[in-house]
Amino acid sequence: MSQLDIHQIPVLSDNYVYLARDRASGQTAVVDPAVVKPVLEAAERLGWTITHILNTHHHGDHVGGNLEIKAATGCTIIGPKADRDRIPGIDVEVEEGDRVALGEAMAEVFFVPGHTRGHIAYWFEESAALFCGDTLFALGCGRLFEGTPQQMWSSLSKFRKLPEDTHVYCAHEYTQANARFALSVEPENQALQDRSRAIDAARAQDRPTVPSTLGEELATNPFLRADQPGLAANVGLAGSEPVAVFAEVRRRKDNF
Ligand SMILES: [Zn+2]
């Protein structure tokens, strides 16, 4: 059993880049390097040697540091097979069900299209860590730039089955705005009200609200709760299929 040490690096206006180091081997991955300098500096300060880049999708604020970090470290870039032409410097193409080894730590790959057509996520089961890019956010989900509500609901449904103690390492600090929206569609949700207050307190002290746990998300994130009758009723779709409720919640968020 091998576990990861995970270091969170806030960059740009609201992105999070992660360094994940396998304790057993010292191999270290950068997850979605938006930028170069803060990532190399953090690795240097920690004494961690970057051996891999794990990309979730092709957006510039997730792959922007790929080529320079590869040039500086000689690392191996792993990314989505379905989007290989849009991942700079990709060495290893992965898809649903593939396993990615970081030293002795092992990740399972989920294909989770919706935000983009090639989006993937990495689940390190032994470390209870999910690197989900822009698919699932704390109290939110990614915009559907290249996918349908059906695809995104099906992608999120893969995450819904994971253990509740899974830590959700998403790629943006959007939580406070997401909480305001979530309360607009589920105002009676007590767990959401409590979480929203805790988020306001954390942000007032400039503390991150990420990672959250999947258990928290299942209890409060409307995009994971499209099968809840109360939420369906709140958006005028009592008795509808979850995917229809999901689509309506996503549409409302786009216009919030
Ligand atoms: Zn994105």
Average pLDDT of span 138-152:
98
- Compute the distance between CA of residue 71 and CA of residue 149 in angstroms, rounded to an integer: 38
Model pLDDT, residue 174: 97
Task: Give me the residue label for tokens 């935000």.
Answer: 115
Average pLDDT of span 132-142:
98
- Model confidence over 34-89: pLDDT tens digits? 999 999 999 999 999 999 999 999 999 999 999 999 999 999 999 999 999 999 99
- Model confidence over 185-214: pLDDT tens digits? 999 999 999 999 999 999 999 999 999 999
Task: Count Cα neighbours of 86 within 13 Å in the Cβ-side half-sphere.
Answer: 14
- Whole-angstrom CA distances from 145 to 74, 133, 173, 206, 244 are 32, 14, 19, 30, 18
Query: Is the distance from CB of 51 to CB of 29 less than 8 angstroms?
Result: yes
Taking the CB of residue 117, how many other CB atoms lie within 10 A of it? 16
- Compute the distance between CA of residue 32 and CA of residue 112 in angstroms, rounded to an integer: 16
- Model confidence over 161-182: pLDDT tens digits? 999 999 999 999 999 999 999 9
Cα of 183 vs centre of ligand 1, distance in Å, is 24
Cα of 33 vs centre of ligand 1, distance in Å, is 12
Model pLDDT, residue 9: 98
Cα of 229 vs centre of ligand 1, distance in Å, is 30
Which residues, chain by chain, have CB under 5 Å from ion ligand 1? 59, 134
Give me the percent of the chain exceeding a pLDDT of 90: 99
Cα of 224 vs centre of ligand 1, distance in Å, is 19
Model pLDDT, residue 189: 98
Cα of 190 vs centre of ligand 1, distance in Å, is 31
Active site positions, annotated: 57, 59, 61-62, 115, 134, 172
**Omega before 242 within 30 of 0, i.e. cis:** no
- Model confidence over 216-246: pLDDT tens digits? 999 999 999 999 999 999 999 999 999 999 9
Query: Is the distance from CB of 30 to CB of 132 less than 8 angstroms?
Result: no
Model pLDDT, residue 1: 56
Cα of 134 vs centre of ligand 1, distance in Å, is 5
SS3 133: strand
